Amino acid sequence: MPRFKLTIEYAGTRYSGWQIQKNAKTIQGEIDRAVRTITGRKDFELYGSGRTDAGVHAAGQVAHLDVSTNLPAEPLRRRLNDELPADINILAAEQVPHRFHARHDAVGRRYVYQIARRRTAFSKTFVWWVKEPLDVGRMRAAAGAFVGMKDFKSFADTDDDGEGTRSTMVLVDRLDVVEQGALVLVAIEGSHFLWKMVRRIIGVLVEIGRGGLDADVAGQLMRDESSTPAKLTAPPSGLFLDRVYYKNDRRDASIRAITPLD
């Protein structure tokens, strides 16, 4: 049975996240349905690099698919896309060795969060419109508190992915705050991320940018357990899983808007 590596983009607005759930429309569920339709098989495995939550998007989610089929990778990709709704698109498919695992082999992930500084009629499902002025310099000053191997216990929600209790220690390699036209982009890259961790970091940075918190509060929240990050959790609309990195992948430091406003 061949194994395929799929690179997938999707708008998560209409979905209850990546992971298949009973009585809910999910990204994995839609791809699962398309695979059944195309191949006529029920005995296959579709495994993502990680889940994204309800309303969260992806520009580069990765999954592996084990399915018995005579279709080569590219025709399989095209056939699956014909079956998928317009807001899910398989960008690339390639046959890979069975030792490749979409989740376990990932060595890093990058998320990009889009904050809009103006009201938008076209991109509101892909941004968080913050009406108050944002001091990007204050946000950048605070961002350093999150970089390195740190304990993000105050930024994680209960882990319910079926794997039991996980450590709250996470290596964040970099966190950049950049201005791009009417957008403020926050890009965070690290080994892995805890449930809601990224959205809570964004929420704290935005509150600092608004002037509601001092920049040094970010460091305090990392040292002392606090409920403040949970109260400031950013909405899912602006969050994109941008890249999943594997061994020998080139890491591009440039940061781009996924849905530019200008």
User: For the chain, what's the residue count?
Assistant: 262
Mean pLDDT for the stretch of residues 114-120 = 96
- Domains along the chain with CATH numbers: 3-96 (3.30.70.580), 107-246 (3.30.70.660)
Return the percentage of the chain with pLDDT > 70, whole number: 97
Given pLDDT bands bounded at 50, 70 and 90, which one contains residue 177? Answer: very high
The per-residue pLDDT of the chain, averaged, comes to 95
Cβ–Cβ under 8 Å, residues 236 and 56: yes
The answer to whether the CB of 228 falls within 8 A of the CB of 154 is yes
Query: How far, in Å, CA of 47 to CA of 99, rounded?
Result: 13
Conformational region of residue 180, where left means phi above 0, alpha means psi within -120 to 50, and beta covers everything else = beta
Token representation of residue 75: 């025709």
List the catalytic residue out of 32, 53, 87, 224: 53
The predicted pLDDT at position 39 comes to: 97
Task: Judge whether 53 counts as a catalytic residue.
Answer: yes
Average pLDDT over residues 135-139: 97
Average confidence (pLDDT) over 184-198: 96
pLDDT band at residue 166, thresholds of 50, 70 and 90?
confident
Q: For residues 111 and 50, what is the distance between their CA atoms, to the nearest angstrom?
A: 12
Q: How confident is the model at residue 162 (pLDDT cuts 50, 70, 90)?
A: very low
Percent of the chain with pLDDT over 90: 93
> What sign does the dihedral 225-229-231-237 (CA atoms) show?
negative
Cα–chain center distance at 146:
17
Residue pLDDT, tens place only, 211-240: 999 999 999 999 999 999 999 999 999 999
Reported pTM: 0.94
Given pLDDT bands bounded at 50, 70 and 90, which one contains residue 164? very low
